[in-house]
Amino acid sequence: MNVPFNDQMYFPYPFRFYAACITLGLEAIHTKNVTHRDLKPGNLLMDEGGYLKIAEFGMSKTDIGYGDQANTMVGSPAYMAPEIVKEEEYTRAVDWWALGVIVYEMLLGTVGKKLPLAS
């Protein structure tokens, strides 16, 4: 049984383990040329063993290989990479940006707060 991942689950569990779960999940989907584009805590599920699984692929894009680009503005604003917000072309690196935001939130315990965008 998978349960939604939320801010109540961040602690006392180690954030490094969760970050590793998400990293391995992103590596797996990127190997299949899929870009999630809406990675956020609400789209993560925890299985019975405590492992996080990436879920909700409704905004994902397929056939995005290494270096390929997309330009559709999708995702959750707090987790969007700057290039998406600026409506520029982007690569699957936007998923890694979202992971960085999630790790930042886990470290500081500030779930849902926006990060300032560099101009």
Could you give the residue numbers annotated as active site?
A: 38
Strands (E), 7-73: 34-35, 44-46, 52-54, 61-62
Preceding amide of 14 cis, omega within 30 = no
Q: What are phi and psi of 45, to 5 degrees?
A: -120, 150
What residues pair up with 54 in beta bridges, in sequence order? 44
